Amino acid sequence: MKNIVVVGSQWGDEGKGKIVDWLSDQADIVIRFQGGHNAGHTLVIDGVTYKLRLLPSGIVRKGKISIIGNGVVVDPWALLEEIKEIKSKGVDVNKDNFLISESANLILPFHR
């Protein structure tokens, strides 16, 4: 099994999202392993614009499994809003194509 890892060294804004999207077309599984909803990336696929902050890029590709890993800080409200937004654009998000690590960290209102 071949693995490809994309890691930034500039504290964000290096274009990792575009690279991961490009690679995700060839992948079976796309994992977001760290970060939170404070940063994001925009994908344009077949003329449709997707703004992702927590969801891995693979979520917009049919037949891919997307995983939020244990290094991601998840704001459940932001995640639900993001899922609602991409579902409105025809993306299917379900238990067969989207998983969250049980060790992922949560941001709750009292953390703010």
Residue 96 to residue 41: CA distance in whole angstroms:
24
Which residues fall within 8 angstroms of residue 53, CB to CB, at 6 or more apart?
A: 37, 38, 39, 40, 78, 82
For this structure, is 13 an active site residue? yes
The tokens of 75 are what?
Answer: 């704001």
For this structure, is 25 an active site residue? no
Give the bridge partners for 65, in sequence order.
Answer: 29
Kindly name the residue from 13, 25, 28, 92 that is annotated as catalytic.
Answer: 13
Half-sphere exposure of 71 (CA within 13 A, CB side): 5
Kindly name the residue from 37, 41, 75, 96 that is annotated as catalytic.
Answer: 41
- CA end-to-end distance (rounded Å), the chain: 41
Catalytic positions: 13, 41
